[in-house]
Amino acid sequence: MTMRTVPLRQVPGDSFVHRLWAGTKLVIVLILGIMTWVLPSWPALGMVAAVVVITALVAGIPLGAIPRPPWWFWGLIGIGVAFNVSFAGIPGALVFLRAITLALVLVASSILVIWTTPMADVAPALARLMRPLRWLRLPVDEWAVAIALCLRGLPLLIEELRMLRAAHRLRPTAKGRSDHPSAEMGIMDLITAAMSSALRRSAEMSEAITARGGTGRLTAHQAGPGRADVVALIVIGPKDLPKALRAVGGRAWGGKTQTAAAEAFLRANRGKVALVTGGSRGLGEMMARAYVENGAKVYITARKAAACDALAKELSAFGECISIPADLSRMEDIEKLAKELSAREEKLDILVNNAGASWGAPFDTFPEVGWDKVMDLNVKSLFFLTQALAGHLRGAASSKRPAKVINIASIDGLAVGAHETYSYHASKAALLHLTRHMAARLIADHVVVSAICPGEFPSALNPAARDHPEELAASIPAGRVGFDDDIAGAIVYLASKAGDYVVGESITVDGGIVNALPQAVQMPS
């Protein structure tokens, strides 16, 4: 199928459908599937199809995520209709079309579950639903993991096939030579190469999980059914179905649990509006991607319009991301950015002040331009952008749901490194104090200001971490440079409800560099 994105992937959102437990969705699909199989009538199929369409609309599934079948798919259906008409007449063709419709409806409902459910929740939900089979000593957990891995592996396999096909088409042609690399690649060759690549990526992922302390459990915090699931199941099932699921789920329907708190944390940024400055690359890209994947509507801004627009287009495949290029070192561009955002949004939930610059030069020759450029962008522009957007932040803020300003500082604001980046060190130290000052003032308006002090992350400002991560890792207590998930965890946490009470503080995300003093003072260049 030709499509812009792989269909077997979650589409972020905060709808009623997204909030349902994965097990509830699977039970609903099973009930609808049984109903249409037992009663394969056009009215039943129409009702189920209507339910699927309405559910997709409620979930906010974008049209771009829906796969478009190729011409040969419709050609095969047409051939099937003609064949049935020839041998069984019009009634036979109608039976054939009804079977095709049934298959498409069941596939659509299954894909809808995947679109609205994190893949990490599928295996635990399957294991919980199949718990009674453990009395028969059946390997329930193994089955659940196998099914979940198949669902997760299919998008990877499709992507590999598309990449291999595209690479093959780019090879130069050589007519009349069957042994030339440009010769037509067989389907088995494509599948073999794709599976080999997918297995290699799986092995790398396994090693990464193990290195991060993976325990072998299905998930650290297994989700379970809640009140919304009771309502959904009562609508389509018998009255005693909630009781049965309560027994299977093993949790009370009432009060909050650790699982519920974890689910609330993951949903905390869905539906929020965020602006990430310096969002086209490096740390900015990592943070913008984290918010998009958590369901926020994200605006990114950067000085280079082409890079900003390109990333926004890429991230739009996973959610809503909009580019507003601007040079924040210019006051007129700050005003222009605030004005354009005001034309698009009435409020702003999250402002990430990440745009920054650095300048390195020996002490005796350090230029004035290197001082002014860094201090202006890293401190002055950050303050006036926050000031320009204060009305939007206050408009989104309340005592129960504060707005957030997150300033991206650096460990260079906490400890002296070996690099002669005098204005950068000074600007980041100033930013930490400015964070505390703004926090003390804006908390009265329910705007929470905090900061993050990243360590060695690959970026344009840190070419050593980008180009020589293995060498740099030797000077880091954690034994590695920062990953995307490391900064994503901090930025999502501060923007979520869990970070509402973190006022004026900074979170150091550096793998232990600062706390390993005096080693931190002797970081290699």
Neighbours of 212 (CB within 10 A): 9
More confident residue, 6 or 281: 281
**H helix runs in 269-389, sequence order:** 282-293, 305-315, 331-344, 368-375, 381-388
Q: Phi first, then psi: give them for residue 171, nearest 5 degrees.
A: -70, 145
* pLDDT number for residue 116: 77
Burial (0-12, 13-18, 19+ Cβ within 10 Å), 142: exposed
Distance, CA of 471 to CA of 465 (rounded, Å): 9
**Confidence class for position 152, pLDDT limits 50, 70, 90:** low
Contact 301, 338 (CB under 8 A): no
Q: Phi first, then psi: give them for residue 316, nearest 5 degrees.
A: -65, -15
Give yes or no for residue 241 having a pLDDT over 50. Answer: no
* pLDDT number for residue 335: 94
Contact 481, 472 (CB under 8 A): yes
* pLDDT number for residue 240: 39
* pLDDT number for residue 322: 94
**Confidence class for position 1, pLDDT limits 50, 70, 90:** very low
Give yes or no for residue 201 having a pLDDT over 80. Answer: no
* pLDDT number for residue 168: 64
* pLDDT number for residue 197: 65
Residue with tokens 């030579």: 177
* pLDDT number for residue 120: 65
Distance, CA of 374 to CA of 429 (rounded, Å): 13
* pLDDT number for residue 473: 80
Contact 426, 375 (CB under 8 A): yes
Nearest Cα neighbor of 404 from 305, 266, 263, 500 is 500
- DSSP per position, 290-310: HHHHTT-EEEEE-S-HHHHHH
Active site residue 501: no
Q: Which residues of 186-201 are buried (b: 16+ CB within 10 A; e: fewer)?
A: eeeebeebbeebbeee
Tokens describing residue 414: 């906490």
Residues 11-16 have a mean pLDDT of: 71
Give yes or no for residue 36 having a pLDDT over 60. Answer: yes
Give yes or no for residue 451 having a pLDDT over 90. Answer: yes
Residues 350-364 have a mean pLDDT of: 92
The sheet with strand 403-408 has its strands ordered as: 320-323, 297-301, 273-277, 350-353, 403-408, 447-454, 506-509
Distance, CA of 323 to CA of 382 (rounded, Å): 19
Residues 147-169 have a mean pLDDT of: 65
* pLDDT number for residue 205: 59
**H or E segment to which residue 199 belongs:** helix 187-211
* pLDDT number for residue 295: 83
When the pLDDT of each residue in the chain is averaged and rounded to a whole number, the result is 76
pLDDT in tens, 49-84: 888 888 878 877 766 666 667 777 778 888 888 888
pLDDT in tens, 256-285: 333 344 444 455 667 799 999 998 888 999
Q: Which residues of 352-385 are buried (b: 16+ CB within 10 A; e: fewer)?
A: bbbbbbbbeeeeeebeeebbebbbbbbbbbbeeb
In the chain, % of residues over pLDDT 90:
30
pLDDT in tens, 289-337: 989 888 889 999 999 999 999 999 988 888 889 999 999 999 999 999 9
Nearest Cα neighbor of 401 from 290, 274, 498 is 498
**Confidence class for position 247, pLDDT limits 50, 70, 90:** very low
Residues 345-351 have a mean pLDDT of: 94
More confident residue, 246 or 491: 491
Contact 412, 421 (CB under 8 A): yes
* pLDDT number for residue 392: 94
Strand-pair partners of 301: 277
Which residues are CB-neighbours of 38 under 8 A, at least 6 positions away?
none
Residue with tokens 């209507």: 50
Residue with tokens 């049209």: 63
Give yes or no for residue 250 having a pLDDT over 50. Answer: no
Strands in 354-502 per DSSP E: 403-408, 447-454
Residues 418-437 have a mean pLDDT of: 93
**Confidence class for position 136, pLDDT limits 50, 70, 90:** confident
Q: Between the CA of residue 287 and those of 100, 192, 353, 436, what are the distances in Å? A: 44, 36, 11, 22
Residues 466-483 have a mean pLDDT of: 80
3-state secondary structure of 223: coil
Strand-pair partners of 406: 352, 450
Residues 228-236 have a mean pLDDT of: 52
Max CA pair span of the chain = 94
Q: Phi first, then psi: give them for residue 32, nearest 5 degrees.
A: -65, -40
* pLDDT number for residue 4: 43
More confident residue, 138 or 235: 138
Residues 23-37 have a mean pLDDT of: 76
Which residues are CB-neighbours of 504 under 8 A, at least 6 positions away?
435, 436, 439, 440, 443, 449, 450
Residues 74-101 have a mean pLDDT of: 81
Active-site entry in 291, 299, 424, 493: 424
Domains of the chain, earliest start first: 227-260 (no CATH), 273-519 (3.40.50.720)
* pLDDT number for residue 148: 66
Which residues are CB-neighbours of 163 under 8 A, at least 6 positions away?
none
* pLDDT number for residue 305: 92
Amino acid in the structure at residue 238 = P
**Confidence class for position 226, pLDDT limits 50, 70, 90:** low
